[in-house]
Each structure stands twice: as C-alpha cells, then as structure tokens.
Amino acid sequence: MKCLRLLLVLCTAAMLAACATGRGSTEAPKIDPQAQAVGTYRIGVDDQLQITVWQNPDLSVSVPVRPDGKITVPLIGDVMAGGKTPEEVSAEIKDKLQSYVRDPQVAVILTALRSHEYLSRVRVTGAVRTPVSLPYRQGMTVLDAVLAAGGTTEFAAPDRTELFREGSNGVTTPYAIRLDKVLQQGDLATNYPVQPGDVVTVPMRAF
C-alpha cells in the first residue's frame, strides 16, 4: 500500500513539473529561424509588368496580365505570364524575339502586385487595440505586426500568443509566441519573421 501511494505521489509531481515548465506534449512547435524564405512569387492576373528590351525602346512596354494569364508584347504577340516567375517570362520573350532581334536582352519587372493582394497579407487578431490586416513586407516580424495593431490591450494574455501558418500541405500549424517577454524584457527568441498569410492571435486572459 505504501509503495502504491509513493508511486501516485511521484506521478503527480511529474505531471505538475511538466505543466509548470511548459514542456507538456501540447506545447506548440518552434519556428526554425533558418527556414523563413518566402516562396517564389508567381505572376497572377491583373499584375502589372514592365518589359524592357535593351537598346530596343519600341519593344519595351508596360502591360497588365489579362484574365487569360497572357500579356501582349510588340512584334511577337501574346505570351503566357500567369503562373510563371518573371525570369521564366523573360526567357520566353527572349527566345521568341531571337527571330527578329540579334541577341535580345530582356528584363521583366513586376511593378504592381495586384493579384496577390490578400494572399500577401499578415493579420493580427484578438486582444489588440486595432485588429488589422497588413500588407506583407520583407523583414516584418511578429513584433512589427503587433505594434501595427496598436499593441495589446489590458485584457490580453500576451504570453499565450500564437502564430498560425498554413504549410504547403494545407495544414495550419500554431507556433507559440512569448509576446510578454518580447515586449517587456526584449527577449526576441520568439519574435519570428512572419510570412504572407500568417495570422497572429493574442488571446484574452482568464478572469
């Protein structure tokens, strides 16, 4: 009987220790700071492209991507741009121009990213002063997004903040953000860089 009681005491102590240290099996995973590269941008409908052909200003144009995904380039006509990278479109234009221009040098520059306006946003919700949907900017972090939302309210539980990110497999993963340490102690360990489509949620504290 004494052995059974001792075993129960040890199990209870182990469970309490796990809860106190936050090392239980339900702890959210951490983001690898080295795996923050944003995927390659693919041109979409309504994006604006600047086509420049070196030493051929008559062939250089600024064109929108049509609903069928194509653009019209002088001399060669329609070129499929939707779903491709600027480099891929540049290579195709160069290949088609070689029948008319000797060794054409082509540059394709995105001047307006209209097709991905909502896919390329970061959203902050919950116990913040102004829930907000922000255009993604390179280098943006969780702290930048929260500050743009006016910071947390007096009812927030910042230490339970989570970042939700959808993976390439369509599964959304929550990542724990120790926002109180970021804000109050300058501990940037969980001040992760954000990616387009991320949602940062600051919960309310229990009363």
User: What tens digit of pLDDT does each residue of 136-191 get?
Assistant: 888 999 999 999 999 999 999 999 999 999 887 889 999 999 999 999 999 999 99
Rounded to 10 degrees, the C-alpha dihedral 18/22/27/29 comes to -120
Q: What CA–CA distances, in Å, run from 97 to 88, 94, 106?
A: 14, 5, 9
Report whether 201 contacts 162 (CB < 8 A).
yes
Domain membership of residue 168 as a residue range: 118-207
How many domains in the chain? 2
For residue 5, pLDDT beyond 90: no
CATH number at 61 reads 3.30.1950.10
Same domain for 107 and 190?
no
Same domain for 144 and 201?
yes
Which pLDDT belongs to residue 24? 36
Please report whether residue 123 resides in a domain: yes
Q: What's CA 86's distance to the chain center, in Å?
A: 20
Q: For the chain, what percent of residues have pLDDT higher than 90?
A: 69
Q: In this predicted structure, which of 3-7, 133-137, 164-168 has the lowest mean pLDDT?
A: 3-7
Largest distance between two CA atoms of the chain: 95
Which pLDDT belongs to residue 39? 63
Which pLDDT belongs to residue 181? 95
